[in-house]
């Protein structure tokens, strides 16, 4: 499961059916499902909570305090905190932040010249980290915001490092101790930022953190510890998922000139610097992104933990407290009953409204779904729209793109991305690896087609 959870889940459900239940002790089970109706029903159940994004820490540690975020909350406190955080990630917030996004994007793309080969993975991760840090922590000191973003990302990565998980001991020289110290330092820096926002003569203006602090104070207040935990959620939920979504969309467009070429023409028709409102209203861009999130969902499966006994009448089953729910979003997105030719990149399938909402879960569903889907889509549209309008590009022929799954699905290694002259056609190339392959080793997602001129 750890090596390739996508293959494991598909093999499991192919062998035993769309829903599989197995015991984990006397009164605990793990329920794995690719059934969209059952998944929607269980994801909506208030008796489940999220499983968290970080390792637990010792009592009284910053690592443990940071972990007490929306992902692990339930009930009234979860709804209250979710509303507060969600208020900062609306489409309106994205529109207000589009100048910051565009300036950061322009600076990041300065080195993209014809003849240059960039690592798309590094470029998009850096871009998403900078955008997230600057929107969340402000532009008063760009270097400080960027440094905080880098350090947050390093701490997050250390939580998923094998060396940290194998030896979770607070002992000198071990990665786990390094992670605990990083958490303490980050907590102190975020506390200082929160206090500065509260002391500002203009509360609630400027960055998203200022808005979060002001919203929290207006709604009866959050403890400083709670604000720190939600700040970590805001950054981690925004930057990692955005980066993987951008990589997936651009890789698929590079390999599908029949989609990229007309999309580029549509984008040019919007003028030299189309607004986010104009990009948001462009059907071809919206469909391409919806389809890329279907084929390469940023989070390929979701995990929930039962905090009470939960009845599942459809299965004549009661899940015990501590049982785990695993929803295979990736497999739901590839169900041939819903999606004809499910392993092909076909944005036109989104031209109508025939796809049931329960069969499309790129942002999950229920009380623990993604906090800001509208904000996320706005960021994707601005970035992908800008890249496709300005550049011609292709993957380096023969490149190997294998998938890696932590919380998110993305490429395991570099993604060599060649920038071509403006007059060059988009061109599909032969690549290796399983990132763009159908599951359990059948045919590739991409079928060779001649260049579109």
Q: Measure the CA–CA gap between 26 and 175, rounded to whole angstroms.
A: 34
Task: Summarize pLDDT for 384-408 with one digit per residue, the tens.
Answer: 999 999 999 999 999 999 999 988 9
What are the domain boundaries of the chain? 5-420
**Residue 396 burial class via C-beta count within 10 angstroms: exposed 0-12, middle 13-18, buried 19 and up:** middle
> What is the reported pLDDT for 204?
58
> What is the reported pLDDT for 379?
93
Give yes or no for a contact between 231 and 209, defined as CB atoms under 8 angstroms apart.
yes
Domain 5-420: CATH superfamily, name plus number: Cytochrome P450 (1.10.630.10)
Q: What is the pLDDT along the chain (453 residues), one digit of tens a residue?
A: 667 889 999 999 999 999 999 998 888 999 999 999 999 999 999 999 987 678 889 999 999 998 887 777 777 778 877 887 777 788 888 888 899 999 999 999 999 999 999 999 999 999 999 998 888 888 677 888 889 999 999 998 899 898 999 999 999 999 999 999 999 999 999 999 999 988 887 765 678 888 888 877 876 667 788 889 888 888 877 788 999 999 999 999 999 999 999 999 999 999 988 999 999 999 999 999 999 999 999 999 999 999 999 999 999 999 999 999 999 999 999 999 999 999 999 999 999 888 999 999 999 999 888 888 888 999 999 999 999 999 999 999 999 999 999 889 999 999 999 999 988 999 999 999 999 975 333 334 433 333 333
Element (H, E) at 382: helix 373-390
> What is the reported pLDDT for 334?
95
Using only C-alpha atoms, the chain has a radius of gyration, in whole angstroms, of 22
Q: Measure the CA–CA gap between 79 and 75, rounded to whole angstroms.
A: 6
Q: Measure the CA–CA gap between 113 and 213, rounded to whole angstroms.
A: 41
What are the beta bridge partners of residue 305? 49, 324
Q: Measure the CA–CA gap between 121 and 195, rounded to whole angstroms.
A: 35
Q: Which of 413, 423, 367 is nearest to 81 (CA)?
A: 367
302-306 and 117-119 strand pairing: unpaired
> What is the reported pLDDT for 220?
67
29-33 and 19-23 strand pairing: antiparallel
> What is the reported pLDDT for 221?
63
């Amino acid at each position: 499961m750890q090596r390739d959870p996508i293959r494991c889940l598909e093999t499991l459900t192919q062998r035993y059916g769309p829903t599989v239940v197995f015991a984990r002790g006397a009164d605990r089970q793990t329920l794995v499902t690719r059934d969209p109706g059952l998944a929607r029903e269980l994801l909506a159940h208030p008796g489940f909570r999220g499983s968290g994004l970080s390792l637990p820490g010792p009592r009284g540690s910053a690592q443990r305090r940071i972990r007490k975020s929306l992902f692990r909350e339930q009930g009234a406190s979860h709804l209250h905190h979710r509303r507060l955080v969600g208020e900062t990630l609306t489409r309106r917030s994205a529109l207000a932040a589009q100048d910051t996004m565009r300036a950061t994007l322009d600076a990041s793309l300065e080195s993209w010249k014809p003849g240059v080969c960039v690592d798309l993975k590094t470029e998009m991760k850096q871009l998403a980290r900078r955008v997230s840090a600057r929107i969340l922590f402000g532009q008063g000191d760009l270097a400080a915001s960027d440094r905080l973003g880098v350090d947050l990302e390093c701490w997050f990565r250390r939580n998923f490092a094998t060396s940290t998980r194998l030896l979770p001991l607070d002992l000198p020289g071990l990665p786990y101790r390094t992670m605990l110290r990083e958490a303490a330092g980050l907590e102190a820096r975020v506390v200082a930022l929160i206090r500065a926002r509260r002391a500002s003569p203009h509360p609630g203006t400027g960055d998203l953190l200022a808005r979060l602090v002001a919203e929290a104070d207006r709604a009866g207040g959050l403890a400083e510890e709670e604000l720190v935990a939600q700040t970590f959620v805001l950054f981690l939920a925004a930057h990692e998922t955005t980066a993987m979504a951008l990589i997936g969309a651009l890789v698929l467009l590079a390999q599908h000139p029949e989609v990229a070429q007309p999309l580029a023409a549509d984008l040019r028709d919007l003028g030299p610097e189309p607004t986010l409102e104009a990009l948001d209203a462009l059907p071809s861009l919206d469909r391409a992104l919806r389809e890329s999130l279907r084929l390469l969902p940023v989070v390929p499966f979701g995990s929930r933990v039962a905090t009470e006994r939960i009845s599942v009448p459809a299965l004549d089953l009661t899940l015990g407290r501590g049982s785990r729910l695993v929803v295979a979003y990736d497999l739901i997105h590839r169900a041939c009953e819903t999606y004809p030719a499910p392993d092909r990149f076909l944005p036109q399938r989104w031209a109508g409204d025939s796809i049931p909402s329960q069969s499309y879960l790129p942002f999950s569903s229920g009380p623990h779904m993604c906090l800001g889907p509208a904000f996320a889509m706005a960021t994707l549209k601005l970035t992908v729209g800008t890249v496709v309008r300005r550049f011609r590009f292709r993957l380096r022929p023969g490149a190997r793109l294998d998938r890696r799954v932590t919380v998110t699905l993305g490429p395991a290694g570099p993604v060599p991305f060649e920038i071509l002259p403006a007059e060059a056609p988009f061109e599909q190339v032969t690549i290796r690896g399983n990132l763009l392959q159908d599951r359990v080793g059948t045919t590739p997602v991409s079928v060779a087609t001649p260049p579109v001129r």
